[in-house]
Amino acid sequence: MTDECRGNPDCEKVHELLGDYLDDELKAVVCEELELHMKECPDCRVHVDSVKKVIRLYREATDRGLPVDIRIRLRDVMKQARESRDPSGP
């Protein structure tokens, strides 16, 4: 989370609900709130887009059977993204 986002309740909400948002597990009204905020907040938009790209790359990597070193790097990037959402996590 960037310094600009830290302390902003709307940004924190995007980061907190990102997993559920990407898994389509939120009510439509909550998705609309998050999407409205992302239109106005370039930091959150970039973060969400980055996580989406990592997920897509990971899925493609597992489908294609990419080399182990690339899968490990993708896993590490996903771990970093998850930890940036929840700095209290392991």
* Residue 4: per-residue pLDDT: 72
pLDDT in tens, the chain (90 residues): 666 777 788 999 998 999 899 989 999 999 999 999 999 999 999 999 999 998 888 787 766 667 788 878 888 888 888 777 665 555
The pTM score is 0.64
* Residue 31: per-residue pLDDT: 94
Instruction: For the chain, give every domain's residue range.
Output: 9-85
* Angle of helix 28-40 versus helix 9-22 axis, rounded to 10: 130
Whole-angstrom Cα distance, residue 80 to residue 70? 15
* Residue 63: per-residue pLDDT: 64
Q: Which amino acid is at 50?
A: S
